[in-house]
Amino acid sequence: MENNEKQSITNLNIKQMIADFVGCDIQQLTVAPKLEMGDFSLPCFAMAKEKKVSPNLIAEDLKNNLMKKLPPFIKDIQTIGGYLNFYLNRNIVSQLIILNSFLPFQFSNIGQNKVVCIDYCSPNLAKYMHIGHVANLVIGESLRRIHEYLGYNVKRICYVGDYGTPFGKMVVAIKKWSDIEKIKTGGIDEIQNLYIKFAQNEVENESLIEEARNASKEIEDKKGQSYEIYKEIINIAIAECKRVVKLMDVEFDDWRGESTYSNAIENVLKELQEKNISHKENGAQIVNLEEYGLHIAVVQRSDGGSVYLTRDICAAEDRFKKYNFDKMLYVVASEQKLHFAQLFKILELMDKKYSKNLQHITYGLFSMKEGKISSRKGKQALFVDLLKEGEDSAYNFVKDKNFILENKESVVKKVARSSIAFSVLKVERNKDKVFDKEKTISFDGETAPYIQYTYARCCSLIRKYENLSLQNKTENKTENKAIQELLKLDNILKMSEYLKERTVENKLQEVYEKNFYLFKKIYQIDEAIVDAYKKNEPYILAREILDLCQEFNKFYNEFKIIDENNLNLTKQLMMIVESVKNKLEQTMPLVMIDTIIEM
């Protein structure tokens, strides 16, 4: 009971309030599986075992004791089958939740400004970005936004693949069939076409391969015309990549790619040898990781060439030196599981303390519903084609609407990219996902437009209410003086006592009773952000946002919110609207849904 007094509205924790009241550990409480069973339950089986009596008896006993001193926020306690079920006082708790929702986000300092590096997107520059990069980009970006929201300092790293024989081939193709000026004007398409031409010709013309090998060597040595052409290719490819990710409203802080580490490799190889981690076998440098079930890792090829793995060792070292990160996430497809397991193990063997703080964030396949997209190039659907398709559908979707407050073009863009992103983010990371534009760009179902529409609905209600208040010269701010007064009561118990005494209109009581689930959703969304962060699973938050919207729309359909004949009630109901709007505004961007104020 004493602890309860210390609880303040700024960190409203309903479960903790009950635990304090019961005198049990918060972990012991569970969420009741059905609404009829109350809001929280305390299973009494462990206690029963300890005391060697029946769980029912324990539950009954506890109940009788607790009922004598019920705090205002609990309405009733019941026992059933060895459980103690707690029923919250919906009137009081709903009001506490609404009040709390207007206060600053209580978990904003989890990150304490510590640095997190997130390596995501990271395409190979020799190829167009395809739709696999979409899933990668939006998962990485969502995690970035969630971390930042929780007070982390995030470094966004796009570790581009700018190394290896493909670039030697491109250089040769340019020398043979084009020139720097032409690729400057022709851009990424010109480069890709030349690359394809090379592939078609190399089969018959072996000397081409020899030339490409020489060019690769020059690139590695950073000299000659080949290197100059290579630099131009990279500039163009990175500019294209920047353009494409910008279409999804994403930017990066660090664009340094694999080639950055060509000079650092030697030192790392030396360190691996000196620490007896690697050894030579058939000319190659290898690390035997069989005892960890991680096979043999090659860290240098037998021809002396460097490998992806070793460049990643260098990159990790460099990033730790540069950013002093607290943790680093690599958002990379599941196929590279072994690669990252080997990387982390080798860094651990090298005694790098940070190796414990590295995490491979995997994800399932992302594909188009068959026959729904025509790709410009080859079999694989391209990133930009998908976006184009999305925008076409979004355009059809909104074309008959007249937006007054937002421009149509920007609405189309927001609907398209949010729909695409959300179709990925609403599904568990490691499950496969399908983009089906008909289902995704729709107001019905679990879609971004459904959420955007709900948000716009809140905004429209608020606009209406503001006009009405203006006409009636009432306060238009929903956070009114009463809240300020209430907040002065600095603990929950005093506050609940106060709320208990306050008379609440019947209509409002009805809202609290009938729509208690809406209030719970408003309350739970903050925890969902934290949960999504802990598990690196944006879908946890995505689901909560969907639930919140559903509950809000139920409320909207059941109650007339703006009633000119009852401004007092309207004001109270508008607090709920404003609270939902605020929660949506805070959380939608975290799962990459753009807010639209009018739809």
CA 437 – CA 184 distance, rounded (Å): 35
Question: Is the Cβ–Cβ distance between 425 and 542 less than 8 Å?
Answer: yes
Distance CA 338, CA 295 (A): 9
Which of positions 334-373 make contact with ligand ARG (CB under 6 A)? none
- The one-letter code for the residue type at 356 is K
**Rounded CA separation 499/92 (Å):** 6
Shortest CB 242 distance to ligand ARG, Å: 16
Tell the smallest beta-carbon distance from residue 355 to ligand ARG (Å). Answer: 14
User: Of 124 and 165, which CB lies nearer to ligand ARG in the complex structure?
Assistant: 124
Residues in the chain: 599
* Residue 450, token pair as written in the block: 């459904």
Nearer to ligand ARG among residue 133 and residue 571 (C-beta): 133
Q: With respect to ligand ARG, which residue has the nearer C-beta, 312 or 544?
A: 312
Task: Note whether 258 and 163 are within 8 A (CB).
Answer: yes
**Which residue's CB is nearer to ligand ARG, number 158 or number 173?**
158
Nearer to ligand ARG, 332 or 386 (CB): 332
Q: Is 375 exposed, middle or buried (0-12, 13-18, 19+ CB in 10 A)?
A: middle
* SS3 of residue 441 by DSSP: coil
> By CB under 6 A, what part of segment 108-127 binds ligand ARG?
119, 122-124
Nearer to ligand ARG, 122 or 478 (CB): 122
279 DSSP β-pair partners? 286
261 vs 539, beta carbon nearer ligand ARG:
261
Q: How far is the CB of 432 from ligand ARG (least distance, A)?
A: 18
Q: How many angstroms separate the CA atoms of 460 and 599, rounded?
A: 9
Residue 78 token pair? 């019941």
Six-digit token string for 31: 């969420």
- The residues in 468-527 that bind ligand ARG, with binding defined as CB under 6 A, are none
Under 8 Å between Cβ of 336 and 360: yes
Residue 350's identity, in one-letter code, is M
d(CA 494, CA 73): 11
Mask: binding to ligand ARG, 130-149, rule CB under 6 A, as x and -? Answer: --------------------
Cβ 160 to ligand ARG shortest distance, Å: 7
Burial of 487 (0-12, 13-18, 19+ CB in 10 A): middle
For ligand ARG, which is the closer residue by CB, 360 or 437? Answer: 360
Q: How far is the CB of 316 from ligand ARG (least distance, A)?
A: 8
Q: Is residue 96 within a helix (H) or strand (E), and if so which, with residue range?
A: helix 90-101
CB of 340 to ligand ARG, least distance (A): 8
- Return d(Cα 201, Cα 125) in angstroms, integer: 21
Closest contact distance (angstroms) between CB of 124 and ligand ARG is 5
Please report whether residue 161 would count as binding ligand ARG according to CB under 6 A: yes
Closest CA to 419 of 385, 443, 383, 454: 443
Smallest gap from residue 418 Cβ to ligand ARG (A): 25
Q: Is 348 helix (H, G, I), strand (E, B) or coil?
A: helix
Q: Which of 21, 149, 159, 552 binds ligand ARG (CB under 6 A)?
A: 159
Q: Least distance to ligand ARG from the beta carbon of 428, Å?
A: 21
- Cα–Cα distance between 247 and 417 in angstroms, integer? 8
Rg (alpha carbons) of the chain, rounded to whole number? 30
- Report helix, strand or coil for 6: helix
Restricting to residues 241-280, name those near ligand ARG by CB under 6 A. none
Contact 433, 427 (CB under 8 A): yes
State CA 54 to chain mean position distance. Answer: 46
Least distance in angstroms from the C-beta of 75 to ligand ARG? 53
Q: How far is the CB of 158 from ligand ARG (least distance, A)?
A: 9
* 3-state SS track over 518-571: HHHHHHHHHHHHHHHHHHCCHHHHHHHHHHHHHHHHHHHHHCCCCCCCCHHHHH
Whose Cβ is closer to ligand ARG: residue 38's or residue 161's? Answer: 161
Minimum distance, C-beta of residue 166 to ligand ARG, in the bound complex (Å): 12
Whichever of 344 and 556 has its CB closer to ligand ARG, that residue is 344
**Shortest distance (Å) from residue 332 CB to ligand ARG:** 5
Size of residue set near ligand ARG by CB under 6 A? 10
The contact pattern for ligand ARG, residues 383-422, with x = CB under 6 A and - = no contact, is: ----------------------------------------
- Contacts (CB under 6 A) with ligand ARG, residues 559-588: none
Beta bridge partners, 157, equal: 119, 254
Instruction: Compare residues 361 and 394 and give the one whose CB is closer to ligand ARG.
Output: 361
Residue number, 40 or 344, with CB nearest to ligand ARG = 344
Cα 296 from chain centre = 34
Task: Please state the closest distance from residue 251 (CB atom) to ligand ARG, in A.
Answer: 18
Q: Is the CB of 136 or the CB of 587 nearer to ligand ARG? A: 136
Site string for ligand ARG, 303-322 (x = CB under 6 A): ---------x--x-------
3-class secondary structure per residue, 185-237: HHHHHHHHHHHHHHHHHHCCCHHHHHHHHHHHHHHHCCCHHHHHHHHHHHHHH
The C-alpha atoms of residue 54 and residue 34 are separated, in whole angstroms, by 24
User: C-beta of 237: minimal distance to ligand ARG in Å?
Assistant: 12
Crossing angle of helices 516-535/131-149, nearest 10°?
A: 110
Residue 143 or residue 580: which is nearer to ligand ARG going by CB? 143
Smaller CB distance to ligand ARG: residue 341 or 504?
Answer: 341
Q: Please report, as ranges, the residues that interact with ligand ARG according to CB under 6 A.
A: 119, 122-124, 159, 161, 312, 315, 330, 332
